[in-house]
Amino acid sequence: MYEKRDAKDRQLDAYRVPLDEFRMTTDQGIGVDHTDDSLRAGERGPTLMEDFHFREKLTRFDHERIPERVVHARGAGAYGIFQLYESLGDLTTATFLNDTSLRTPTFVRFSTVAGSRGSADTVRDVRGFATKFYTPHGNFDIVGNNFPVFFIQDGIKFPDFVHAVKPEPHNEIPQAQSAHDTFWDFVQLQPESLHMVMWLMSDRAIPRSFRMMQGFGVHTFRLVNALGQATFVKWHWRPVLGTYSLVWDEVLRIQGNDPDFNRRDLWEAIERGAYPEYELCVQLVPESREYDFDFDLLDPTKIIPEEQVALRPIGKMTLNRNPQNFFAETEQVAFHTANIVPGIDFSNDPLLQARNFSYLDTQLLRLGGPNFPQIPINRPLNDVHNDQRDGFHQHMIHGSRTSYAPNSLSGGFPAAGNGYRHYQERVDGVKIRKRSPSFDDHYSQATLFWNSMAGWEKQHIVAAFLFELGHVEHQHIKGGVVRHLGQIHPDLASQVAAGLGLPQPPMAQVHSNASPALSMTGQPQSVATRKIAILMADGTDAGEVTALRESLEGKGAICEVIAPAEGSVAGIPVDRQLSAANSVLYDAVVAADGAALAPLGRAQFFVKEAFKHGKAIGAVGSGRELLEAARLPNDVGVVMGDGIAEKFATAVAGHRFYERDVAAVPA
């Protein structure tokens, strides 16, 4: 267990409103003893203007909303601690990357990109993974995603891209989806997006949990040491639980059953003390090797394959506390790629350069002026001193007579010695509105991604293209996309073209290189934090169920009992009644009764659906009868009989059995 309180906590304490001291007052501190009726001229008369409490209450209510983020509007946040494994003192002067005894407080916000604030969590989309490190020398943000590349190479295309993926302007349809004409029109006309689109069509775009999701800084940054020497760096977050995804059909049903699926999962895990952990890894490239690759390190549509530059784990972040107030913390947190600390610097990636402008600009509007860094969640741990003054919502009371530098009256000198120093990169060039030819190859890494996928991953990618393009109305857009797929891989292009009833496009000669690290096979396996539904009814053998449950919970799994009615069954409390439960909200199912459940269509559907989604299914006692009634074949991942506890735990830890013949199960 980790010590929950840290420096940021203590800093925030000053701003928290303790519940036990709660007495109602107006914003001016005047006591309010009645807030149920407005002040009227007579019991049946008009409301009076002088009712300052009524007017203040309504006015404040009318102004509660602030603009949602233009992108990444829907998110969930958590506090954590980052601890370094070994000093990187030879590479960077950043204190939090030097001192292994430091426990650097962090705040993370996970998000989807396209949907509005109230959209469902489990849509096909990129996930934001933004981390603020409150270091002793100021705030450092890694504003990353769960994919290592991006749709565009130059930030000037960002408004075009976002307009294309957002709901179409004439009817504001569809919400939080890329399955529509304007998105795919952009893709077919802007082939630099294709590598990212491959990731978007893969199961990476439907993560099982924020806790089981990688994060990437995407751009190349720099580490800078005390001698002023730089090393290129790419940031990677690797979840200790492994990287896992949902199944497409499952996410469609989760959206209705629990639109807060990912948000709830994160919240509950932290409340339970099952703290999500991520290793921070770096890929390091000495400046001397900048041109050693067959892509440009400044091109954000390219990865450095792990097989070419290994990942070096440098520390671990543990998310150990939920926010207390969603608005104050998660909604008001302001990330910015340009929030960097001494020892870290940018590269000339044109996407990063654009972001370094955009984030500050967007906060000014969203958070209502230039003083948003004073909002508690955004304040650095160290003191802030400068001559920047005034503006909306100024909270500081500057006592000094001066607000200019230099001055001879009250100090105000620049920090001596430990101030931020920009890396002294030599820059030489003519002004030119042109992309470097080293950014021209849009297909090789899309092919690399396809080649690296396991069979089931390829099937899911093809199915995703068919779903998405199946929602596109214009034939020329579908045809345009398929022609690009012909440049990525003939197997992909031919299946998608056939499914869309389009002619086979011209097929390119493609390379056969693969990067095994890109596949989601071979992840760390654990039953810990997996959610298991136990279907019970009056005929359940309580002894068998309890033994299995204790064994699973002993390994960190979460079991919920589902029965035809609330209350208890065989002395075991019921968590949810069958009509309110759904298999898509669980990782695995145990059938623990046959006699009463087998005739129930809903119980049959529950196990059948779990089977189709590749989930581990166990049977104890007469539970086998339910599986038989549902006509489930005795396929992989269906476990019963002797030694079930261990066999079932192994099956659950394996996540999904994609190789199942789901067509064999009747609808």
- In the complex, the residues that contact ligand HDE under the rule CB under 6 A are 69-72, 75, 109, 111, 128, 130, 143-145, 150, 155, 158, 218, 333, 335, 351, 354-355, 358-359, 362-363
CB of 527 to ligand HDE, least distance (A): 30
Give the containing element (helix H, strand E) for 262.
Answer: helix 261-272
Give the containing element (helix H, strand E) for 129.
Answer: strand 127-135
Q: Which is nearer to ligand HDE, 338 or 528 (CB)?
A: 338
Any catalytic annotation for residue 34?
no
CB of 387 to ligand HDE, least distance (A): 26
Alpha carbons 301 and 443: distance in angstroms, whole number: 10
Alpha carbons 292 and 7: distance in angstroms, whole number: 43
Whether the Cβ atoms of residue 229 and residue 89 lie closer than 8 Å to each other: no
Whether the Cβ atoms of residue 78 and residue 278 lie closer than 8 Å to each other: no
CB of 248 to ligand HDE, least distance (A): 23
Alpha carbons 571 and 466: distance in angstroms, whole number: 49
CB of 178 to ligand HDE, least distance (A): 16
CB of 75 to ligand HDE, least distance (A): 5
Among residues 53, 72, 180, 613, which one is catalytic? 72
Q: Which is nearer to ligand HDE, 218 or 481 (CB)?
A: 218
- End-to-end CA distance of the chain: give it in Å, rounded: 46
CB of 122 to ligand HDE, least distance (A): 18
> Which sign does the torsion angle of CA 304, 306, 309, 315 carry?
positive
DSSP annotation string for 50-85: T-HHHHHHHHHHHT---PPPSSS-SEEEEEEEEEES
Nearest Cα residue to 107 out of 142, 137, 72: 142
What's the one-letter identity of residue 248? Answer: W
Q: Which is nearer to ligand HDE, 203 or 349 (CB)?
A: 349
φ, ψ of residue 665 in degrees (nearest 5): -95, 125
Give the containing element (helix H, strand E) for 163.
Answer: helix 158-165
Whether the Cβ atoms of residue 508 and residue 566 lie closer than 8 Å to each other: no
DSSP state of 238: E
Residues ≥6 apart with Cβ < 8 Å to 7 = 105, 134, 381
Q: Which is nearer to ligand HDE, 364 or 502 (CB)?
A: 364
CB of 152 to ligand HDE, least distance (A): 7
Strand partners, 319: 80
Q: What region, left, alpha or beta, does residue 221 occupy, with left being phi > 0 and alpha being psi -120 to 50 degrees? A: beta
Q: Which is nearer to ligand HDE, 363 or 495 (CB)?
A: 363
Any catalytic annotation for residue 371?
no
Q: Which is nearer to ligand HDE, 221 or 657 (CB)?
A: 221
Q: Is 626 helix (H, G, I), strand (E, B) or coil?
A: helix
Q: Which is nearer to ligand HDE, 318 or 330 (CB)?
A: 330
Q: Which is nearer to ligand HDE, 114 or 482 (CB)?
A: 114
User: Cα–Cα distances in Å, from 284 out to 8, 153, 227, 360?
Assistant: 30, 21, 17, 28
Which residue in the block uniquely carries the two structure tokens 């979460």?
558
Nearest Cα residue to 76 out of 330, 334, 333: 330
Q: Which is nearer to ligand HDE, 72 or 615 (CB)?
A: 72
CB of 151 to ligand HDE, least distance (A): 8
Among residues 53, 137, 139, 145, which one is catalytic? 145
CB of 186 to ligand HDE, least distance (A): 14
Residues ≥6 apart with Cβ < 8 Å to 13 = none
Give me Rg for the CA atoms of the chain: 28
Catalytic residues: 72, 145
